[in-house]
A and B are shown apart, each in its own frame.
Chain A
């Protein structure tokens, strides 16, 4: 199979994509090309800094969307599980006890090995 055959096959596959995928792909390619062009020709230009700012604004929205999904999908179920098993990770039960001092719980690995870890 030579290059031209490969290209034809690839082109045919692209042509068969649904319209909205085509639009998205075109958009992504444009963004990529603009980024590459600006990086190459004017990395310190005002146009590039404006372009970056614009993209950042889009990113801020995306961040909110992504984090909302992560929050609901991962924090939510664990929270539900904790509620169902009656476990309060923060020990917020009010009221006086004899003491609220808890034993210091050093890392079971021992001081030297523990120091090499971030926990």
Chain B
């Protein structure tokens, strides 16, 4: 049985294909369209997942859409009614898109999937999130917490999953939203909403949460059980085109920061404060859910589940013993969620084995890579597995920055060793080099380490796996020799790597350890600021040539920047990507 899951029309559209309950392929549209957070119908991603599965559209048994458009429409109209006449600007901007596109989801799907004639099924947004984490988790029974900006009405929900069934018990409803609260601060701090929330999280350790008490006493009315209401006098996202209003600016003593301007202690402190609020809410929610369900395993999804600092605290400070976070916890993961919901929950089918990796995207074989490189006139060496591992580790240890392109692309926002840039974590200057000369991004942004899973607890204060880079842990006191992946507060957002899921990548880190005594390397996504992570050999080669990366490994092809002919381009590539 083939089920296609689709998420689109808000941000991060994606498609996923399930064959007999197993995800054969899943891919975000942005990787193929090269437009960051692309929200259009994922035509390219659909085409890819069908091709990967060897299935034609008419052979699909069902198509699932990740939310309920009419409930969302109702929520929007309710908002316009409740905030009349201030909502005119928002109404004027949103309605044309609804009238033209969002109200016609079934006919758009049929047009794109012609000649498919089977059913088109819809799941609630938070049910898609819940299914996306629980049904691929290793747990037979678990509590589920989903937290994001907003779906239809729900902005957070919890329930229980057992076998193939999911029951959602309670929810918090719009406009009271932890995700939108975090986004409002993201906006106020001069970053892009729905895109740069993780920058606020990265900024937080530089500051002190001096506004925490004030926020909690006036802006966020938090109950003991983690539920809350926002004081809407500070926000305008319910009716306007901005997230915060004059009262919010007054609260923090100034207007929102202009993007790309200098940041000072004030911004750091505000970031630290909202991060602490976010953690406090998530912790209280998790403790409450534990009390309500009595379960010790938790699955999390929704955009807020990408807040790995909060996730780290959930596992350390609540009674939950095990935590599973969906690698594509945001809306893209909804495509996997709805497909599983349709197959497992509605179809009453048993679950397939749990996910062990997120390598669900396109891959390119050696002949395709060679053909491409030859076409570009690139100079390369073809090396064996053994040589590849030895040479890559040697280059990294010698302070080279290496582009690493292997196997299938990752699904979700993190690069996990399929499309990564690798570097030496022992070099304190490496962070600046990577930020300024390769990624062209803000200097404060930390880098994440990949560590051999069997060595993780030796180096970090963690006693569980973090295969999807969604947990933050402290670097152990005696191991502070990896400054470029250690944040100012001594923490790191780590990925644990096992040989079973990523043999070549594991071997490179192990070889690096043999050379240096350190089983940790820097792993950052293979892209520049504002660019979606590379997908094809072409994307990777362009990114390699445009930046100051030293070497590129494309499958078994090793390229040295010094040997390459200059890249001929008609356009300034810096204008191609809008800064995030």
- Do these two chains interact? yes
The residue in chain A whose Cβ has the minimal distance to the Cβ of B159 is A104
Check if A116 is an interface residue, CB within 8 A of chain B. Answer: yes
Name the distance in Å between A99's Cβ and chain B's nearest Cβ: 5
Query: Could you tell me the distance between the alpha carbons of A68 and B85 in the complex, rounded to whole angstroms?
Result: 11
Check if B172 is an interface residue, CB within 8 A of chain A. Answer: yes
Check if A63 is an interface residue, CB within 8 A of chain B. Answer: yes
Check if B376 is an interface residue, CB within 8 A of chain A. Answer: no
Across-interface contacts of A98 in B (CB, < 8 A): 223
Asked if A78 meets B68 with Cβ closer than 8 Å, knowing A97-B229, A111-B345, A118-B105, the reply is no
Across-interface contacts of B159 in A (CB, < 8 A): 104
Across-interface contacts of B170 in A (CB, < 8 A): 101-104
Residue of B105, B123, B169, B176 near A103 (CB, 8 A) is B169
On whether the beta carbons of A99 and B229 are closer than 8 Å, the reply is no
Name the distance in Å between A85's Cβ and chain B's nearest Cβ: 12
Check if B70 is an interface residue, CB within 8 A of chain A. Answer: yes
* Interface hit among B230-238, B325-333, B356-364, B449-457: B230-238
Main DSSP-derived SS at the A contact region? loop
Check if B137 is an interface residue, CB within 8 A of chain A. Answer: no
On whether the beta carbons of A67 and B221 are closer than 8 Å, the reply is no
Name the distance in Å between A67's Cβ and chain B's nearest Cβ: 5
Name the distance in Å between B150's Cβ and chain A's nearest Cβ: 12
Residue of A104, A112, A114 near B169 (CB, 8 A) is A104
Main DSSP-derived SS at the B contact region? mixed
Query: Could you tell me the distance between the alpha carbons of A19 and B577 in the complex, rounded to whole angstroms?
Result: 54
On whether the beta carbons of B171 and A104 are closer than 8 Å, the reply is yes
On whether the beta carbons of A94 and B91 are closer than 8 Å, the reply is no
On whether the beta carbons of B81 and A99 are closer than 8 Å, the reply is no
Across-interface contacts of B83 in A (CB, < 8 A): 90
Name the distance in Å between B455's Cβ and chain A's nearest Cβ: 41
On whether the beta carbons of B233 and A89 are closer than 8 Å, the reply is no
Check if A42 is an interface residue, CB within 8 A of chain B. Answer: no
On whether the beta carbons of B88 and A71 are closer than 8 Å, the reply is yes
Across-interface contacts of A93 in B (CB, < 8 A): 229
Across-interface contacts of B293 in A (CB, < 8 A): none
Query: Could you tell me the distance between the alpha carbons of A76 and B87 in the complex, rounded to whole angstroms?
Result: 11
**How big is chain B's contact interface, by range?**
35 or more
The residue in chain B whose Cβ has the minimal distance to the Cβ of A93 is B229
Residue of B68, B105, B122, B223 near A99 (CB, 8 A) is B223
Asked if A115 meets B346 with Cβ closer than 8 Å, knowing A67-B92, A102-B170, A104-B170, the reply is yes
On whether the beta carbons of B92 and A64 are closer than 8 Å, the reply is yes
Name the distance in Å between A95's Cβ and chain B's nearest Cβ: 6
On whether the beta carbons of B238 and A115 are closer than 8 Å, the reply is no
Chain B window 313-346, contacts with chain A (Cβ cutoff 8 Å), 1 for yes, 0 for no: 0000000000000000000000000000010011
Across-interface contacts of A71 in B (CB, < 8 A): 80, 85, 88, 91-92
Check if B168 is an interface residue, CB within 8 A of chain A. Answer: yes
Across-interface contacts of B85 in A (CB, < 8 A): 71, 76, 79
Across-interface contacts of B221 in A (CB, < 8 A): 94-97
Check if B42 is an interface residue, CB within 8 A of chain A. Answer: no
Asked if A117 meets B122 with Cβ closer than 8 Å, knowing A71-B92, A92-B175, the reply is yes
Asked if A100 meets B228 with Cβ closer than 8 Å, knowing A78-B81, A88-B82, A92-B175, the reply is yes
Chain B window 198-232, contacts with chain A (Cβ cutoff 8 Å), 1 for yes, 0 for no: 00000000000000000000000101010111011
On whether the beta carbons of A100 and B229 are closer than 8 Å, the reply is yes
The residue in chain B whose Cβ has the minimal distance to the Cβ of A106 is B168
Query: Could you tell me the distance between the alpha carbons of A79 and B221 in the complex, rounded to whole angstroms?
Result: 27
Asked if A95 meets B82 with Cβ closer than 8 Å, knowing A101-B172, A115-B346, the reply is no
On whether the beta carbons of A118 and B68 are closer than 8 Å, the reply is yes
Which residues between 29 and 85 of chain A lie within 8 Å of chain B, taking CB atoms?
A: 63-64, 67-68, 70-71, 75-76, 78-79, 82
Query: Could you tell me the distance between the alpha carbons of A71 and B86 in the complex, rounded to whole angstroms?
Result: 11
Which residues between 150 and 196 of chain B lie within 8 Å of chain A, taking CB atoms?
A: 154, 157, 159, 168-176
On whether the beta carbons of B123 and A115 are closer than 8 Å, the reply is yes
Across-interface contacts of B88 in A (CB, < 8 A): 68, 71
Check if A10 is an interface residue, CB within 8 A of chain B. Answer: no
Query: Could you tell me the distance between the alpha carbons of A111 and B122 in the complex, rounded to whole angstroms?
Result: 10
On whether the beta carbons of B84 and A101 are closer than 8 Å, the reply is no
The residue in chain A whose Cβ has the minimal distance to the Cβ of B176 is A100
Query: Could you tell me the distance between the alpha carbons of A115 and B231 in the complex, rounded to whole angstroms?
Result: 35
Check if A2 is an interface residue, CB within 8 A of chain B. Answer: no
Across-interface contacts of B342 in A (CB, < 8 A): 115
Across-interface contacts of A99 in B (CB, < 8 A): 223, 225, 227
Residue of A75, A91, A116 near B81 (CB, 8 A) is A75
Which residues between 402 and 443 of chain B lie within 8 Å of chain A, taking CB atoms?
A: none
Name the distance in Å between A59's Cβ and chain B's nearest Cβ: 10
Asked if A90 meets B92 with Cβ closer than 8 Å, knowing A99-B227, A116-B121, the reply is no
Across-interface contacts of B71 in A (CB, < 8 A): 118-119
Check if B96 is an interface residue, CB within 8 A of chain A. Answer: yes
Across-interface contacts of A119 in B (CB, < 8 A): 68, 70-71, 74
Query: Could you tell me the distance between the alpha carbons of A104 and B172 in the complex, rounded to whole angstroms?
Result: 9
Residue of A67, A115, A118 near B69 (CB, 8 A) is A118
Query: Could you tell me the distance between the alpha carbons of A114 and B342 in the complex, rounded to whole angstroms?
Result: 12
Query: Could you tell me the distance between the alpha carbons of A98 and B345 in the complex, rounded to whole angstroms?
Result: 33
Residue of A63, A92, A100, A116 near B96 (CB, 8 A) is A63
Instruction: Count chain B CB atoms within 10 A of each CB in A71, A95, A101, A118 and give the residue with the most.
Output: A101
On whether the beta carbons of B346 and A102 are closer than 8 Å, the reply is no
Query: Could you tell me the distance between the alpha carbons of A50 and B23 in the complex, rounded to whole angstroms?
Result: 47
Check if B564 is an interface residue, CB within 8 A of chain A. Answer: no
Query: Could you tell me the distance between the alpha carbons of A104 and B238 in the complex, rounded to whole angstroms?
Result: 22
Asked if A102 meets B91 with Cβ closer than 8 Å, knowing A82-B81, A117-B122, A118-B70, the reply is no
- 25 CB contacts below 8 A, A to B, read A64-B92, A71-B92, A75-B81, A75-B84, A79-B82, A82-B81, A90-B83, A92-B238, A93-B229, A95-B229, A97-B223, A98-B223, A99-B227, A100-B176, A101-B225, A102-B173, A104-B157, A104-B159, A104-B169, A106-B168, A114-B122, A115-B123, A116-B119, A116-B122, A117-B68
The 9 closest A-B pairs by CB, nearest first: A79-B84, A100-B227, A101-B170, A89-B78, A119-B70, A115-B121, A104-B168, A118-B70, A101-B227
Q: A96-B223, A100-B172, A101-B170 are in contact. List 11 more A-B contacts (CB 8 A).
A: A71-B80, A71-B91, A75-B77, A89-B82, A91-B173, A102-B170, A104-B159, A115-B121, A115-B123, A117-B70, A118-B71
